[in-house]
Amino acid sequence: MDSESRQARIVEFARTRGRVEVGPLADELGVASETIRRDLKVLAGRKLLKRVHGGAIALETAGFESGVEYRSRVDLAQKHRIANAAAGLLHGAETVYLDEGFSPRLIAERLAESPLTVVTASLLAAEALADSTSVTVLLLGGRMRGRTLATVDHWAVSRLQTLVIDVAYLGTNGISIEHGATTPDPAVAAVKQTALSVARRSVLVAAASKFDVAHFCRFAGVADFETIVTGTELSAAAAQRYEALGPNVIRV
């Protein structure tokens, strides 16, 4: 197998499995571990993969946006820690916005016993709160995106614009010092931007793999968030660079 075909297979594996490891890839493709490391370096340089300890994960691009199943497999332990910490930041809030994505769904699970009104575009978050006797759930209408099971477009944005939210929990596909928080889809960016504009406080939840990554549509600057919650997988030095722009960065 030539290098181009091998690298295409590696990207395919990363997108379907959530993560690839150097050793298993070398065995599966019948090449040396050093060859795989070189391939991963090339693919990271082309912004198709992001290197992580021992392997790589797929980066979302204009041609690839991960779905719910993929997101539920990547950085899972880290996302549970992030959700635990984020849920502890209510600080007396009575109204909450929960963004689309897997991490906001994990936060929803942890808010199920709180006396809240939760507004969300996410069917996943709404489902997590369906049996709660203390949470009132308001689900935004609009066009449902099958990839993320969340609503977008005019119905979602126009309803959200009429509200005042105490705290918004937002996710992102990428965040960088230069470009801020970004996502591949303009319709998703519009909902996120609106939620940010109507919230008194904003909390960004983002696994370490999302940092120093930029996508097509910017919906916020780093300074627009009061708090960023991430994992200890993000280095303290990197966290300080983002914290210098304004938000409190919590590593868990």
Average pLDDT of the residues of the chain? 93
Tokens for 229?
A: 């919650």
Give 100-125 pLDDT, tens digit per residue: 999 999 999 999 999 999 999 999 99
Q: Is the pTM for the entire model greater than 0.85?
A: no
For Cα atoms 122, 123, 125, give the angle at the middle one, nearest 5 degrees: 65
Please give the pLDDT value at position 58: 83
Where along the chain do its domains lie?
A: 3-59, 69-251
**Whether pLDDT at 62 is above 80:** no
Q: Where are the alpha helices (DSSP H) in the chain?
A: 3-17, 22-29, 33-45, 68-71, 76-87, 102-111, 123-128, 154-160, 186-198, 236-243
The class level of CATH for 3-59 reads: mainly alpha
> How many angstroms separate the CA atoms of 191 and 121, rounded?
8
> How many angstroms separate the CA atoms of 147 and 145, rounded?
5
Q: Residue 138 forms beta bridges with which residues?
A: 119
**Whether pLDDT at 230 is above 90:** yes
> How many angstroms separate the CA atoms of 122 and 140, rounded?
8
Please give the pLDDT value at position 102: 92
**Whether pLDDT at 59 is above 80:** no
Phi, psi of 102 (to 5 degrees): -80, -40
Helix axes 22-29, 33-45, angle to 10 degrees: 110
The class level of CATH for 69-251 reads: alpha beta
Q: Residue 135 forms beta bridges with which residues?
A: 116
Confidence of residue 138 (pLDDT cuts 50, 70, 90): very high
**Residue 33 CB coordination number (10 Å):** 12
Q: Which candidate, 88, 92, 96, places its Cα nearest to that of 202? A: 96
CA quadruple 86, 88, 94, 95: dihedral, nearest 10 = 10
C-beta separation of 251 from 239 below 8 A:
yes
Please give the pLDDT value at position 63: 58
Confidence of residue 70 (pLDDT cuts 50, 70, 90): low
Please give the pLDDT value at position 61: 61
Tokens for 201?
A: 């406080």
Please give the pLDDT value at position 47: 81
Q: How confident is the model over 130-134, as a mean pLDDT? A: 97
Q: How confident is the model over 118-134, as a mean pLDDT? A: 97
**Whether pLDDT at 60 is above 80:** no
> How many angstroms separate the CA atoms of 80 and 231, rounded?
10
Please give the pLDDT value at position 92: 96
